[in-house]
Amino acid sequence: MLSRTADNLFWLARYTERADFVARILDAAMRLASLPSSYSGERNEWESALASAGSMETFQGLYSATNEDTVRDFLAFSPANPSSIRNCLELARTNARAVRTALTTEMWEGINGAWLEFKRFDGRSMSREEFARFLEWVKSLSLMFEGSAHRTMLRNDAYWFTRLGLAMERADNTARIIDVKYHVLLPENERVGGSLDYFQWTTILREVSALTAYHWVYRDRIRPMRVADLLILNRQMPRSLASCYEVMVRHLDLTADAYGRRGPSQRLASATLGRLNDLAIEEIFAQGLHEFIEAFILDNNQLGTAVAEQYLT
């Protein structure tokens, strides 16, 4: 397969996943914003949404105030924000169009249709309710994309590169949320207790759509260390770092077998997965959660570079 084709498929998957992630962040912020401030604390939930999306700097260059209107506009609709839902959908479609013949009709029509439909939404005039429906719609797109890929694509390198892109984006998103919110997960904060922290933790879980999963897995009240465990090490949880790396290792291995050659991507991915499998959450906390996540993000980026060099350029 042409490297460019693989690159387009990889980024198509990443942008679709990123759109979903940004929608979840906005969704969580909306919930937090609708709580009386005695529950959600003094901190501005819209600032926190920007931090989760990792785009505080770009935002500050564009807007003077941080509030619901500006953050909604920036994260969902702004052409100036490279990771806005708008740009993610457009870039997904640009990538899809470039590899039109490598996609199944279902996938192409889904992605093309999404972009065409997006242009019918007018962000400024949306009520909260309409905006919530819009976010639901965005989230349904990633389901459509994954579903149609899963149901219609041949299981060959084209499929593997989309799975790889999706898992890498997910891992990055989950890690970034932990990175900007690690302080609320630290044990010393648990002692502070109170409803404020509870809502911070549930917000994190919502952002990665793991609130229900948490209860199923731990059957316990929300405790920060368990939140961290769920997001980092739990292999049942599809957005955990360990799960994402399982997916990446599996599809990198399939690629290596098909091409008859292993390379830096395979080595880096299985080394990271190995670490995630060997560690217990207590050890991570003992090492320092922040340091651990920072190192992980670096490793994940390094893997991205390795994949790009080995396959995509």
Where does this chain bind another protein (CB under 8 A)? 1-4, 6, 97-98, 100-101, 116, 119, 157, 161, 255, 259, 261, 311-313
289, 182 Cβ separation under 8 angstroms: yes
Cα–Cα dist 100/57, whole Å: 35
148, 104 Cβ separation under 8 angstroms: yes
Residue whose CB is less far from another protein, 115 or 182: 115
Q: What residue type is 87 in one-letter code? A: N
Q: Which CB contacts under 8 angstroms, 24+ apart, belong to 63-71? A: 68/33, 70/46, 71/26, 71/29, 71/46
**Locate tokens 């992980």: which residue?**
296
171, 21 Cβ separation under 8 angstroms: no
DSSP for 102-130 reads: GS-HHHHHHHHHHHHHHTT--GGG--HHH
Residue whose CB is less far from another protein, 54 or 263: 263
Cα–Cα dist 223/38, whole Å: 20
Residue whose CB is less far from another protein, 2 or 80: 2
Residue whose CB is less far from another protein, 65 or 154: 154
Cα–Cα dist 267/133, whole Å: 43
Residue whose CB is less far from another protein, 116 or 143: 116
Residue whose CB is less far from another protein, 203 or 255: 255
Q: What token pair was written down for 58?
A: 């770009």
Q: In the complex, what is the shortest distance from the CB of residue 99 to another protein, in angstroms, rounded to a whole number?
A: 10
Residue whose CB is less far from another protein, 10 or 134: 10
Q: In the complex, what is the shortest distance from the CB of residue 157 to another protein, in angstroms, rounded to a whole number?
A: 6
Contacts of residue 89, defined as CB under 8 A and 6 or more positions apart, other chains included, come to: 15, 19, 114, 115, 118, 141
CA angle at 111 for the pair 105 and 114, rounded to the nearest 5°: 130
Q: In the complex, what is the shortest distance from the CB of residue 76 to another protein, in angstroms, rounded to a whole number?
A: 20
Q: In the complex, what is the shortest distance from the CB of residue 311 to another protein, in angstroms, rounded to a whole number?
A: 4
Q: In the complex, what is the shortest distance from the CB of residue 109 to another protein, in angstroms, rounded to a whole number?
A: 9
Q: In the complex, what is the shortest distance from the CB of residue 193 to another protein, in angstroms, rounded to a whole number?
A: 50
H or E element that contains 155: none
Q: In the complex, what is the shortest distance from the CB of residue 203 to another protein, in angstroms, rounded to a whole number?
A: 37
Helix axes 195-207, 45-53, angle to 10 degrees: 40
Q: In the complex, what is the shortest distance from the CB of residue 43 to another protein, in angstroms, rounded to a whole number?
A: 40
Residue whose CB is less far from another protein, 236 or 313: 313
